[in-house]
Structures are given as C-alpha cells and as structure tokens.
Amino acid sequence: MFGYGRSNFTWNGTLRELEGRRPPCFTERSRPSMTAPPSSSSGLEVLLSTLQNAGDVESTINILNVLDELLSAGTDRRIHYMITKGCSEALLTALVNTGRSFSPNFHLLLPLLHLLAKIGHRDRRIGVKAEDAGAALLTLNLLRQNIKYARRAAACLWVIQVFSSSVSTANLIGENHGLETVYRLIPHFTTKHLHAIKAAVDAFAALLCTKANVCSVVSKGYVAGLLRLYEDWHAKAVQHGAVAICHSLLRCLHKVTHSTAGRQAFVSQGGIRLLYGTTQTCLLSKDLESLVEPSVQLMRKCLTKTPLPLTSDRSAYSFPMPGRAHAVPAMDAEPDENSEETEEDDNEAEDSKEADFDEDLETDLHKLRLRPDPDRPKELLPQYSRLCPELSHEELGLCSEPEKSSAASSTSDGDAALLNGSQSHLSGTDGGWSDSSTSSSASDPMGHTAALAQLEARDFHSHRSILSTGPSFRTKVREASGEAPCVQSGEDQDEEDADESHHGSMIDRLLEKHGVCIPHHEPKLYRAAAARTKSIPGFSLLAFPDFWGHLPTPGHEPMAPRKPNVQRQKVFEDVQRFLITDGIINQVVFDLEDSSLQCPSDSLRFFSGFECGNLRKAVRVRRWEYDLILNADVNSSQHTQWFYFEVSNMVAEVPYRFNVINCEKSNSQFNYGMQPVLYSVTEALEGRPHWLRTGTEICYFRNHFCPARGRRKTTFYTLTFTITFKHNEDVCYLAYHYPYTYSALTAHLKVLQNSVDPAKVFFQQQVLCCTLAGNPCPAVTITARPASRGWKDMHQVRNRPCIVLTGRVHPGESNASWVMKGTLEFLCSSDPVAQSLREAFVFKLIPMLNPDGVVNGTNRCDLSSEDLNRQWSKPDPVLCPTIYHTKGLLYYLNSIGRTPLVFCDYHGHSRKKNVFLYGCSVKETLWQSGSAVNTVGLKEDPGYRTIPKTLDRLAPAFSFNSCNYLVEKSRSATARVVVWREMGVLRSYTMESTHNGCDQGIYKGLQTGTKELQEMGGKFCHSLLSVTKDVKSLDSQRLIGHIDNDVLDHKSHNCFEDDEPPCVEQIEYSADCPAPNGADLDSDVNANATAADEEEDNDGHGEAKVCSGGVGRALQSSARGRLFPPAM
C-alpha cells in the first residue's frame, strides 16, 4: 500500500475495487506489472513513466483505464494531485509517441485522447504543455486525417478544445488553418453524430478565445454562416434534442461578438432580428427556455450603443468654483476613439480589480500606527473654542434662553426671522450666521466672495417659497384659498406683507383642515427655513412632502418579491424597442433646462425644480412608459443614482412603466426586494401623509445607453419599475429613498431646540462654517446642564468625554439623515438613558456635512464635484469648508485634551442589507492582508468592538456580522480612517444603513422605513453607554444589560468596494454564454468511449475490442452510418 498525497487515499482500496469488477481485458498478464512494489511515494509516477515509455498496447490501455478510474472516482483534490505529478505531460508524451506513427493505432489513441480531454480541462496549463510536447498540431493533423470517423474526430476535437484554453495554443491552431478545419465540420441540421458535431462547435468556440482568431473568423465571413447554422439548428432543435448544439452555437456567436467587427457583422447580418425571432419561439417551449438568457444577452451586447438624448453630459447645474477660471471645463471629454474596444478588455479589468481587493489593505505598519503631522499650524485652532460652548462658564450656567448669551453663535435671531418671514433678516448677512461666514471667507480668494455675493443676490431676489407645484395640486390649493399660495421674500415690503399674511392664513386653513400632527415637524417653519436655503438654480418651489411632512407608515413593508425572469423580460422589451418601432413615441416631455417645453395633454407631467430634486429629462417612450434621465452631480458628468421628482396628470389604475436609464452603480438592492418611495398629495390631504414603498416589476440591469458626448465605454444601468397610481390627476412624488432636505434639517433643529427643557438639557446650535453656496452648516452641542453653578458641577461638565457624530456627507444617502434625526431626537428626549448619556458625555453633532450637495440634488459630491469623504487627509479650506472645519474642531478638541471617545460618520448603503459599522483595527488589517508582520507583540485595545457588539444586541436592524475593521489604502482619506489615525480615536466608525431592509433579526424580510432608521439612531446612542467609564453612577449595566467584553470572537471578513462591499448576491449580468462545464465534457467523452465501434470496425481494427474500462456512464445514441456530411 502506498499513500496518496494527503487525501488518505490508498491504492489498495482502488485495486480491490478494480478486482471486484475487473473488466474482461484486465488480464493476469498485465496485473503483476501494476502491483509491482514501487516505492511508497512514487506509485503514480511509476505508472506515468510506464505510460510514456510506450510499452505494449494492452498494458498501456490498462494503465489508461486505471488512470481513468482514478480520475472518475476522484475528488478535485485528487485530480489536482495527479496533475501536479505530471499526468498531463505523460499523456501528452504518449499521445505524441503514438500519434506520430504513419498509421496510428486508434484503439490506443482513442482512450488516450479521451483521458487527455478529461484531465486537460482541469489543468489550467494544458495548452502550454501541449505546445511544449508538440501535441497541438499533431492533434489537428489527426483530426484532419480522421474527419470521416465521428468518434475519432470527436475525441480530437475535445482535445483541441481543452488545448485552446491557452491563448498561444489557440492562436497556433488558428494560424495552421485549424479554424477552417473545425468550422467545416459543423453541418446544417442532421440527426447523426450529434456528439461529434457538438464537439466541433465547442472546439470552434474555444478557439475563439483569442483576438486573432476572432478577427480571422470575422474576415472569413463565418458570422453569417454561424447565424444561418443557428437558425437551422434552432428550428429543429426541439424535436431532436439538439438544444445543446444551439447552446454551443450561441457560445460561438458570443465569442465572435467580443470584437467590434464581430458585433458589426452580427448586426449587419440580421443577427438581432434573427435572435429576437428565435427567442420568441423559445419562450413558448420549455425545452428551449435555456436558450433565452444567452440569446437576450447576445442581443443586448450587440445593440448599437445609444447616446443619451442630452446635449451635454455635464450637470444642468454648474457652479463657479473659487480660484478656477471656469465654472466647468469648457468641453465635455472628447469621445474616446478607442471606446469600442472589445468587451473582454472590460472583463479583464474587472477581474483584476477583484483580485486586488486584499492588496488594498494597508500593510505598512508605520502608516497604520504613526500619526501624520497635522495639516495646519496650531495657531489656527483656537478659533474653534467657540464651538465648545459647554466649556464656557456663562454659556453653561444660564438656564433660560441660553442662545441669547452669545450673539455670535446663537441662531435664535435668524430663526425668529424664519418664523416671521421677516424681510430684514433675509439679507444674507444677519448676525446669526455671519460669524462663521467671515471666519471661512477670511481665507477665500476674491473670486469666491464675488461669486457668493452674486449668488446671494440672485437667490434672494428670486426666492419665493411657493407651496404648490403640480397643476392638480395647484388647483386644490386654489379651491381651498381662492388664490395660488405664495410667500415672497422680495424687496417690496408692503406687497410682501400682504401676500405673506394672506398666504399664512391660507396655509393655516389648509393645515387646519387636512393637516396631521407630525412630531417635530412644523410646515410653516419648514417654509421659512426653505426661504433661506441657497440653491444653484434658485429654487422657488417646495416639494409638497417636504413642506407637509411625513408620518412613518403604520406597520411594516415587506420586501418586494422578484418575479422570475423579470430582468430577461425587461431586456427583451428594450430590444423590442429597436426592432418594432410601432407605438414608439420617443417624445421629450420634461427638460430641466427648457421650461418652455410643451407637454402633450395626455402625458404624465414631470417636475424636479425643488430642493433635492434631480430629474433632468423625461422621454415618453410608449403610451405608458417613460425614460427618465437624472442630472449628474453639479460641475460633473457622473455619479447619477439618487432621484427625486414630481409626477402628475396621471390616470388612475393604469400601470405606468418608468425607466431611470442613466444609473451608474453596477448593482443595486433594487434587484433584491427594494422599492422606490412614493408620496401622494391626495392621500396626504386625506390624512395619510406617508412616503410608501411602491412599484412592481422592479429590475436593475445594464443597458445599451452611453454618454451623449463622453466616453462610449461608460456603462449605464436601467432601474425600471411600474407604478399604478391610485387617484386620477393626483400629484405624486417619487424618490430613490425617503428624502430629507437641508431645509428640513434646519427647521428640525429649530423645533428640537424649542422642545427641550433648558433647565435640564443644554442644546446649542451653531454654525460650523458656510458652504461654497453660502448655506450655514449647523453644528449642535448637546449635554446635560449642570445641577448648579457650583464649581464641582461645572467641573464635572467640563470633564465629560466628547462624542462626535457626523452625517450625510453623501447627499444620495438620505437614510443617514433619518438615522441622525433619530439620534438628535433621542438625545433631546426625556428618556432616562438619554438623560444618563447627557450626564456622561458632551455630544457634538454635525448632521449634514454636505448641505450644498443635498440642496442641489447631487448623489455623491458637493459643488466642487469632489467626494468629500475622500478629502479628510488634507481638506482644502476653500473648496471643502465643512470637512476642513470639522477636522479643525477635532484638532482643537485634541489639542485641549478632549479627544472624542467615539466618532461616527453616518452613511447609507445601496448594495447591502442591515445596518453595520466599519471601524479600524491594525491587527485585523494585518491578519486579513496575510501580512508577514508579527502581530503577537502588537498591543491593540479591542475596545473598538464594544459598540458594534452592543448594537448587535440592542438594535434590531444592526448586524454585527456585516461589520469590519479593516484599513484600506483607498480609504485612507475618509473620515473614519483619518479620525482614527490622526486624532487617535480608537472608536472611529462609519455607520452604514441599508436603503433596502434587513435579512436577519426581527426585521428580516422587511424594508426599513423612517421609523426603523430613526430607531437605529436612538439605539446607537444606547450603545454608547457601553463605553462609559463610570459604570456605577450611570447604572448602565442595568440599562443595557450585561456587555460581554470578550469580543474577539468574530473576525473581519469582507473588504469593500467604494464605501460598499461588493454585493454577494448573483446577478444575471454575464455578457457571455456560460462556459461549458467539465462534467458535460466528461459525460460527452464517456459516451464516445462506450459508443459502438462500427466505423472503426470498418477501418480494419475491429477485431481487437477496445476496453471501455467502466468509464462509460451516460450512454448516448450510437453514431451509425455515414459520417459527417460532406464539408460545407
């Protein structure tokens, strides 16, 4: 007995098995040579060396049988072992030795070729090995000599197929006219020799793995031939079980259309129309259904790229950047001449990206542990003392109206202005906000100030907050009030007052009649706040839901079921658009840049000229179907994903299909149960002011659109959904996720400030800085007011650790704002835990790091078209003021010994479920990267896991298993990593909340609503009790239960892409036909091995029966009679 690798396999067992059912030809004569006692480690090698040294035919065949037996019964591991021991090389040598003779013995060659095919498709280097052994062209010659013999030809073809896994081998065969040889073996439909024909088609497909071979095939005009072959085989495939050959032909077409020339040939030869026709037949037959997906993918791939119907890919909104000569680059990027490169290039790029995931982990211990030098001189830090009012005796001590105590930082005057709509406060320079704008503009170049002044002027002249937008709602308002509502902030004081009071009373009546009490929301306050918000287009209208408010839906909303094959069907319908143009309207019905556009009376009406709105264009495609194009981020031509728009003039109970055609993310939770949200004005006026998850037939897939002028290679994705409106002539709003505007934040903070008991809660809203567009970025301090003004109490307050929470750096992640809202409301509440937290900590919140992006409906960036969460290393004070000053505040806290105990930046996640944290750990990063650095001596406080561990118990939406603590190079400039590394905050996190829902816990299978998001914000606060040092006084053990400190029982797993880990769920994107799998090849080979031998018998070798060695399992109808029909 000799051991077999590490798999505990022994020869004895197999030989016993073989003896039990010994094939007839397994003679006594050959047995001794096999059971001869070689050294225990080299049994296989002995066998292989015997094989290469060309013994007599019979023992060679016996060796092949044993090898085949080993292979067939073996695991992948065993096969791999055989390959490492030189099995492929031995077989190749045997093949060359046998095949070279003038009249090769096919009784030997057939099993040899069969075994080579089986081993070969498991050996990644088989092509190279074959070339080295001189076997590639030899096999091609054997094929040519034996095309009359179906079994021999099939065996040669399989071997050619596996050899072609190497590009150079495939090219070698192609250069030697192998393509023609193989192509001629593919006949029109026949019932004979199906396995050999399939082998020929598969070999042909395999040879097309190289560009040279594809070019050669296209230039020879084979594309037309392949299409005719497919048409023919397809027509008769059902009756005759030839579906597999159709599959293989599709695979050939897929390979050919990797090249531009191939796609052109495919299209010009009517490939799309042909496949469209055959696919419709497929849909009627269950047997043919498997052909639908590859056909649809092929059509999609070959559809000519259609530029988006835009004059420019640049955003409709541009903003003059301070210090830059032009607001935007003068021209769009030139169309990329090489853009029509083959798609395989794309795939390769994607592959290498994935392979690089681990390389993204930071393995440089110095970079992980050493603090970089501060990005600014120390002298710049004292300005931030104003953002620490809790350290000021006067601020803290005054219980009543604390905001009056500091004109510089208080917002009360400004907010009074908000409520009154008072003209004098709308000049843009009122005291409340001016403090910080001077502080930030001190370093501004002149250009910035000028731009701001201009913007302010424009905004404040035109700023009218008019409640009402869509025609139908406007009517409703008129019915209620007799006149369109309007509030102005223009110069004409008298008129303004009159309008205001009239408007005010109308609003009062409307709200009185229809309004619902929405906690922490005051419509009039919202309107006043919106009047102060500065937008690039100078929005003068409010979206109704933002004004009126939203109540969380009663109950839960389950994830939408995904209809089987919905994606296939949608893509098919897209193809249809190009082939059957009857009923295609293609009329622009909304254009953000053309307000004069006339919309047909029977069309839906669209509008997005309000805060966070970002629909750029709507095209009516068919009677009930609309293509929607989103506006790119300001000053940019990309990042589209978020949407928010108004739709009206609908007919009730009709399914309308919407296609958002320029999404950019490669996958979306819309494929996994997520629905967009809809708000109906009619429903709201009837007492149901809810954003509801809505839509059926939801699907997210790659489409055939490309940028209007930019790189053709850019891929867009379609989000399609169907909505059936409940009411005729309603005004509805549709959004990617529950909107939360900047004006909502400012109004909300005001309501909160008014709601707290100033004797207990210290709540101070200040301005961190002004944004590029001149919007104040709020910073809030919350803590418990000291019990007395005595030294001891005041001292306790000053020693409270700081917790810094930020959010909404990415405007498209509105869920982050709802979580932040939950946090703010909880911290201001009378809940005993909130009270404990306020007594334990000073909270500093910057709820919206990117107000300008939020206001202008961008998805990712701010006005400088930068992702602000990549700017933390060295934030520019002019271009990224909010990041610059947030970091400044953190530096300041650091400099006075008040480094935050916890930092958390709230985000939203479009591609994962649940809520989870990303943290930072040196050890875990090194472990995960497989770094050679010895971590045994490395000390690291495992306390970064306490909060996630606690949240896992407290927060139903939270998933500990989704968290990770890896530090990536590509994220070295994010808030989380910079605050951890530069400020030394151990517990520095990104909190990601799903846009969709949960797949664990009590919310499993449900989509999250604003209620769940807000709850998460509260639970996050709860979890902070787990990091309080003074456990006794807080009684936090009782409040949050026992916290297990032995937390290192989970390891970080996934790495992530962007802020988001790659979606683990599979999606039907494959542009390619699925590759043939090894089991199919095995089964084909086995069938060939056991097939009747008639044709070979005729060749004169019939008397020596070939032993099938028990390898045959799948029997296929024997190939009889004439061989291949004459070559085509």
CB of 990 to Zn ion, least distance (A): 8
Query: Active site residue: 992, 1012, 1095, 1096, which one?
Result: 992
Closer Cβ to Zn ion, 294 or 857, answer by number: 857
Annotate 1044-1096 with three-state secondary structure: CCCCCCCCCCCCCECCECCCCCCCCCCCCCCCCCHHHHHHHHHHHHHCCCHHH
Residue 905 backbone phi and psi in degrees, to 5: -110, 120
Closer Cβ to Zn ion, 99 or 908, answer by number: 908
CA distance 451 to 771: 12
CB of 360 to Zn ion, least distance (A): 17
Q: Are 59 and 32 in contact (CB under 8 A)?
A: no
Closer Cβ to Zn ion, 813 or 852, answer by number: 813
Closer Cβ to Zn ion, 753 or 990, answer by number: 990
Closer Cβ to Zn ion, 662 or 869, answer by number: 869
Beta-carbon contacts of 1109 under 8 Å, excluding residues fewer than 6 positions away, are 23, 61, 64, 65, 68, 69, 111
CB of 889 to Zn ion, least distance (A): 21
Residues of this chain that bind Zn ion (CB under 5 A)? 810, 813, 907, 1059
Closer Cβ to Zn ion, 723 or 855, answer by number: 855
Secondary structure of residue 605 in the 3-state scheme: strand
Name the DSSP letter for residue 361.
B
CB of 617 to Zn ion, least distance (A): 26
Q: Are 361 and 929 in contact (CB under 8 A)?
A: yes
**269-283 exposure pattern, b = at least 16 Cβ within 10 A, e = fewer:** bebbebbbebbeebe
Amino acid at 1070: S
**Cα–Cα nearest to 746, from 588, 546, 457, 526:** 526
CB of 835 to Zn ion, least distance (A): 32
Sign for the pseudo-dihedral over CA of 774, 779, 780, 781: negative
**Cα–Cα nearest to 814, from 753, 737, 720:** 737
Beta-carbon contacts of 735 under 8 Å, excluding residues fewer than 6 positions away, are 643, 644, 645, 676, 677, 678, 679, 691, 814
Secondary structure of residue 501 in the 3-state scheme: helix
Closer Cβ to Zn ion, 320 or 853, answer by number: 853
CA distance 294 to 252: 11
CB of 823 to Zn ion, least distance (A): 17
CB of 579 to Zn ion, least distance (A): 41
CA contacts within 13 A on the Cβ side of 478: 9
CB of 863 to Zn ion, least distance (A): 18
C-alpha of 875 from chain center: 27
Q: Are 678 and 733 in contact (CB under 8 A)?
A: yes
CA distance 75 to 515: 69
Q: Are 242 and 291 in contact (CB under 8 A)?
A: no
Closer Cβ to Zn ion, 181 or 641, answer by number: 641
CA distance 141 to 143: 5
CB of 674 to Zn ion, least distance (A): 17
Amino acid at 28: E
CB of 660 to Zn ion, least distance (A): 20
CA distance 385 to 377: 16
Q: Is residue 992 among the annotated active site residues?
A: yes
Closer Cβ to Zn ion, 230 or 642, answer by number: 642
Judged by phi (left if over 0) then psi (alpha if -120 to 50, else beta), residue 144 lies in alpha
CA distance 1086 to 1088: 5
CB of 1010 to Zn ion, least distance (A): 18
Closer Cβ to Zn ion, 522 or 813, answer by number: 813
**Beta-strand pair 677-680/731-735:** antiparallel
Closer Cβ to Zn ion, 669 or 929, answer by number: 669
Residues pairing with 964 in the sheet: 918
Q: Are 527 and 467 in contact (CB under 8 A)?
A: yes
- Give the CA diameter of the chain: 118
Closer Cβ to Zn ion, 463 or 810, answer by number: 810
CB of 710 to Zn ion, least distance (A): 24
Cα angle: 464, vertex 469, 474; to 5 degrees: 105
CB of 813 to Zn ion, least distance (A): 5
CA contacts within 13 A on the Cβ side of 740: 30
Closer Cβ to Zn ion, 139 or 850, answer by number: 850
CA distance 839 to 796: 9
Alpha helices in 318-445 (DSSP H): 343-355, 365-369, 393-397, 412-420, 431-441
Active site residues: 992
